[in-house]
């Protein structure tokens, strides 16, 4: 089949790599315009664009597909001229109007990192961890004009382990997404089968995964240690949980674990121990969390032993 692929970050690149290694023809890749990145703020191509260029696949980077502008209409016409059988979309980052969704012969298929209709929206991986879900997965859906509202065609399930961060779960789901789209597009007959048997989402089960903000990554010791640990894992690798040191400096928290011990006499946010396991801090409900990897401004992430050696934190200190 003739496939258009639309995606931007590493999550999408996993799926594109898988499709490149099939007998399908990738007629074009759509990705977000190059963005400034790194300390030098140089224009940087997305992971998907870099992969496409390596394989000599045509790359298109329209700003939008709006019918209200000449640029949008031109982008629509350009896509239509590709005469694709199907368009695969994974973390593309642009809203696709109905005219675009209807352009390929079999429409547009989305690789979404959750078990829809749970966690529609921008941050499904992070919200699943932060909420304490025991499992998540990937849904392949036929795209509709709403936000992740399309009919479901195929699902995979992925357990969320007690040590998973958004980074580790992202990689697991990226691999599952690649496998899932390969299954659906194994042949034109398979695709027709999955389209014919697709399932409408139950709106009553909808949960939205709202976009992450840096502000919500600030640790609040007045909640339970278990929830703090979930948040730290959810916000790794972005925006990264943090403790405010002063008006200009934050202490980043990369990893933690919930202590099996409790405390009754300590104040909320008080450091009650610093040892080879990490920094033990009193939280709500007499619970204790152990911070196992910290990063001071301008430095590198330190493990528990290195934290102890810095002597930058003290027992009895309130964070």
Query: Which SS3 state, helix, strand or coil, does residue 312 take?
Result: coil
Nearest to 235 by CA among 301, 170, 309: 170
Task: Give the dihedral sign, CA 235/237/238/244.
Answer: positive
- What are 147's strand-pairing partners? none
Q: Residue 73: pLDDT above 80?
A: yes
- Among 31-40, 79-88, 270-279, 299-308, the minimum mean pLDDT is found in 31-40
Distance from CA of residue 84 to its chain's centroid?
A: 28
User: Helical H runs in the chain?
Assistant: 10-20, 47-54, 70-81, 98-101, 124-130, 166-184, 188-196, 225-234, 304-310
Residues 202-226, mean pLDDT to the nearest whole number:
96
For the beta carbon of residue 14, count every other beta carbon within 10 angstroms.
Answer: 24
pLDDT, tens digit (0-9, with 9 covering 90-100), for 158-186:
999 999 999 999 999 999 999 999 999 99
pLDDT of residue 192: 98
Who's near 166: CB < 8 A, 6+ residues apart? Answer: 125, 126, 129, 233, 234, 235, 236, 237, 238
Q: What is the domain class of 2-209 according to CATH?
A: alpha beta
In the predicted model, what is the mean pLDDT of the chain? Answer: 96
Task: Give the model's pLDDT for residue 87.
Answer: 98
Instruction: Say if residue 38's pLDDT is above 80.
Output: no
Confidence of residue 300 (pLDDT cuts 50, 70, 90): very high
- Start and end residues for every CATH 3.10.25.10 domain found in the chain: 215-310
pLDDT tens across 106-133, in order? 999 999 999 999 999 999 999 999 999 9
Class of domain 215-310: alpha beta
Tell me the pLDDT band of 225, cut-offs 50, 70 and 90: very high
**Spatial distance between the Cα atoms of 119 and 167, rounded to a whole number of angstroms:** 17
CA dihedral 9, 15, 21, 24 (to 10 degrees): -110
Domain with CATH 3.40.50.170 in the chain: 2-209
Residues near 50 by Cβ (< 8 Å), separated by ≥ 6? none
């Amino acid at each position: 089949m003739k496939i258009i692929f639309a995606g931007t970050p590493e999550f999408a690149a996993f799926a594109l790599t898988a499709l490149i290694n099939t007998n399908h023809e990738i007629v074009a890749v759509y990705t977000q315009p190059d963005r400034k990145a790194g300390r030098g703020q140089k224009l940087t191509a997305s992971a998907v664009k870099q992969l496409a260029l390596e394989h000599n696949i045509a790359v298109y980077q329209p700003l939008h597909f709006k019918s209200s502008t000449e640029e949008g209409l031109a982008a629509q016409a350009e896509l239509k001229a590709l005469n694709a059988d199907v368009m695969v979309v994974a973390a593309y980052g642009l809203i696709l109007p109905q005219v675009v969704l209807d352009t390929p012969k079999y429409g547009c298929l989305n690789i979404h990192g959750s078990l829809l209709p749970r966690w529609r929206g921008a941050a499904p991986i992070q919200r699943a961890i932060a909420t304490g879900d025991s499992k998540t997965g990937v849904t392949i859906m036929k795209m509709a004009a709403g936000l992740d509202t399309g009919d479901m065609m195929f699902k995979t399930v992925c357990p969320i382990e007690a040590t998973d961060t958004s980074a580790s779960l992202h990689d697991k789901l990226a691999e599952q997404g690649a496998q899932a789209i390969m299954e659906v597009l194994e042949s034109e007959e398979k695709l027709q089968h999955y389209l014919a048997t697709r399932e409408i989402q139950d709106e009553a089960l909808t949960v939205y995964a709202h976009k992450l903000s840096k502000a919500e990554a600030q640790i609040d010791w007045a909640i339970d240690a278990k929830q703090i640990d979930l948040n730290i894992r959810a916000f790794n690798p972005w925006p990264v949980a943090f403790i405010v040191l002063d008006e200009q400096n934050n202490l980043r928290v990369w990893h933690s674990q919930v202590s099996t011990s409790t405390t009754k006499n300590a104040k909320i946010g008080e450091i009650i121990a610093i040892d080879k396991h990490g920094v033990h801090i009193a939280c709500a409900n007499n619970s204790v969390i152990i911070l196992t990897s910290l990063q001071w401004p301008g430095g590198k992430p330190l493990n528990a032993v290195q934290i102890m050696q810095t002597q930058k934190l003290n027992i009895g200190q309130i964070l």
